[in-house]
Structure 1
Amino acid sequence: MKPRMTGPDPLPIKRKHVLVWGLGRLGGGAAVTRWLVDQGARVTVMDRATADSLRSSLAAIADLPVALRLGTEDPELLAESDLVVVNPAVVKARSEFFNAITRRDVPWTTEINLFLERCPASVIGVTGSFGKSTTSAMIAAVLEEHVARGGGRGLVYLGGNIGKSLLPELARMTPEDHVVLELSSAQLEDVPRVPFSPRVAVLTNLHPHHLDRHGSFDAYISAKLNILGHPNPAAVLVIGDPALGGEAVNPRKTLGPGEQTTRDSLVAAGAPAESVAAARLVREHVLRLGVPVHSARAPHVPFELVVPGTHNRENAATAWTAARLLGVEEKTAANALRHFPGLPHRLEVVAVIDGVRFLNDSKATSPRAVVTALDALDAPVLAIVGGAAMDEPLDECVRTLAERCRTVACLGETGARMADRLLDPVRPEPRPEVLRADDLETAVRWSRTRARPGDVVLFCPGATSFDRYVNFEARGAHFADCVRADAPNHQGKQAATTNPPCGRPDASCNAQPSIRNAGIKSA
Structure 2
Amino acid sequence: MSKKIAILGGGESGIGTAILAKKNGYEIFLSDKGKIKNKYKEVLEHIEIDWEEEKHSEARIFDADVVMKSPGIPDSAPLIKQLREREIPLISEIEFASWFTETPVIGITGSNGKTTVTSLVQHVLKEANIDSGMGGNIGNSFAKMVAEEDHDWFVLEISSFQLDGIEKFRPHIAILTNITPDHLDRYEYKLENYIASKFRIAENQTEDDYFIYDADDSNITEWLKKNPVRSQKLPFSLERKIENGAYIENENMVVNINNTQFTMPTSELALQGKHNAKNAMAAATVSQLLRIRKQTIRESMSNFQGVEHRLEKVLKINNVQYINDSKATNVNATFYALESMDSETVWIVGGVDKGNVYDDLLPLVNEKVKAIVCLGVDNEKIKASFGNIVENMVETTSMVDAVEAAYKLAEKGDNVLLSPACASFDLFENYEDRGRQFKEAVRNL
Q: TM-score per shorter chain, which class?
A: 0.7 to 0.9
1:76 corresponds to: 59
Q: Match of 1:444?
A: 403
- Tell me if structure 2 keeps the 8 A contact 1:156–1:178: yes
Q: Say which of 178, 183, 194 aligns to 1:205.
A: 178
Give the C-alpha shift of residue 484 in structure 1: 2.5
- In the other structure, the counterpart of 1:35 is 20
Q: More deviation in 396-405 or 356-365?
A: 396-405
- The counterpart of 1:122, out of the listed 80, 104, 121, is 104
Which AA in structure 1 matches 2:322? Answer: F
Q: Deviations over 1:491-521 (max 9, x none)?
A: xxxxxxxxxxxxxxxxxxxxxxxxxxxxxxx
Give the aligned partner of residue 50 of structure 1.
Answer: 35
Please give the secondary structure, in 1, of the residue aligned with 2:385: helix
Give the number of aligned pairs.
Answer: 421
> For the residues of structure 1 that align with 2:149 and 2:373, how far apart are their CA atoms?
48
Change (3 A) 1:231 1:156: closer
| DSSP-derived class of the 1:118 partner | coil
Do the aligned residues in 1 keep the contact of 2:160 with 2:197 (CA within 8 Å)? yes
Counterpart of 2:162? Answer: 187
2:218 is aligned with 1:279: no
Partner of 2:347: 383
Residues 428-455 of structure 1: CA deviation (Å, up to 9, x unaligned) = xxx3411122222211111111222332
Distance 1:336 1:164 in 2: 23
Q: Deviations over 1:103-133 (max 9, x none)?
A: 3333332211112222212222211111011
> Residues of 2 paired with 1:357 and 1:140: CA distance?
29
Query: Which of structures 1 and 2 has the bigger CA Rg?
Result: 1
SS of corresponding position for 1:358: strand
Q: Which of 45, 58, 65 is the equivalent residue of 2:48?
A: 65
Going from structure 1 to structure 2, the CA distance change for 1:64 and 1:122 (only over 3 Å counts) comes to closer
**Unaligned 5+ runs, structure 1:** 1-13, 149-153, 245-274, 488-523
Contact 1:389 1:412 in 2 (8 A): no
C-alpha separation in 2, matches of 1:283 and 1:414: 40
Secondary structure at the counterpart of residue 384 of structure 1: strand
Match of 1:301 among 264, 267, 270: 264
Question: 1:140 pairs with 117, 122, 133, which one?
Answer: 122
One-letter identity of the residue aligned with 1:64: I
Say whether the 8 Å CA contact 1:119–1:173 is kept in structure 2: no
- 1:289 is matched with which residue? 230
Give the match's secondary structure for 1:349: strand
Deviation at 1:390, TM superposition (A): 1.8
Residue 19 of structure 2 corresponds to residue 22 of structure 1: no
Cα displacement (A) at 1:139: 1.4
Measured on the aligned residues, the alpha-carbon RMSD in Å equals: 2.4
Q: Quote the offset at 1:79 in angstroms.
A: 4.5
User: Which residue of structure 1 lines up, in the alignment, with residue 319 of structure 2?
Assistant: 355
- Please give the alpha-carbon distance, in whole angstroms, between the structure 1 residues aligned to 2:312 and 2:233: 36
Higher relative contact order (CA 8 A, sep 6+): 1
User: Given the superposition, is the C-alpha separation of residues 234 and 415 from structure 1 closer, same or farther in structure 2, using an over 3 Å criterion?
Assistant: farther
Q: Secondary structure at the match of 1:341?
A: coil
* CA distance, structure 1, for counterparts of residue 342 and residue 201 of structure 2: 36
Matches of 1:116 and 1:395 in 2, distance apart? Answer: 41
Supply the distance in 1 between the matched residues of 2:62 and 2:198 (Cα, whole angstroms): 34
Q: Secondary structure at the match of 2:306?
A: coil
AA partner of residue 31 (structure 1) = G
Match of 1:433 among 392, 407, 414: 392
Give how far 1:457 is off.
1.1
Cα separation, 2, equivalents of 1:236 and 1:110: 23
Preserved CA contact (<8 Å) 1:416 1:436: no
Q: Which residue of 2 aligns with 1:163?
A: 139
1:270-419 correspondence runs (5 A): 275=218, 277-286=219-228, 289=230, 291-295=232-236, 296-297=246-247, 298-299=253-254, 300-303=263-266, 304-412=268-376, 415-419=379-383
Q: Is the 1:398–1:418 Cα contact (8 Å) retained in structure 2?
A: no
**1:25-76 CA deviation, whole Å, 9 max, x = no partner?**
xx2222222333333434322111135xx44543554533223322223322
* Higher relative strand content: 2
d(CA) in 1 for partners of 2:8, 2:207: 30
Unpaired segments ≥5 residues, structure 2? 237-245, 248-252, 255-262
| Cα distance in 1, alignment partners of residues 347 and 28 from structure 2 | 46
Tell me the TM-score normalised to structure 1 length: 0.75
Are the aligned partners of 2:377 and 2:427 in contact in 1 as well (CA < 8 Å)? no
Q: 1:369, 1:131 → 2: CA distance?
A: 8
> In 1, Cα distance between the equivalents of 2:231 and 2:2?
42
Q: Does the Cα contact within 8 Å between 2:5 and 2:29 map onto a contact in 1?
A: yes
Equivalence map 1:258-269=2 (5 Å): none
Which letter does structure 2 place at the counterpart of 1:131? G
Identity of aligned residues (%): 27
| Cα deviation digits, residues 148-195 of structure 1 (max 9, x gap) | 3xxxxx511212112321323325767x8122222111111122x125
2:384 partner amino acid: D
Q: 1:188 to 1:460 in 2, by over 3 A?
A: same
The TM-score, its normalising length taken from structure 2, stands at 0.87
1:172-219 per-position Cα deviation (integer Å, ceiling 9, x unaligned) = 767x8122222111111122x1252x3222111111111111121111
Q: Are the aligned partners of 1:410 and 1:416 in contact in 2 as well (CA < 8 Å)?
A: no
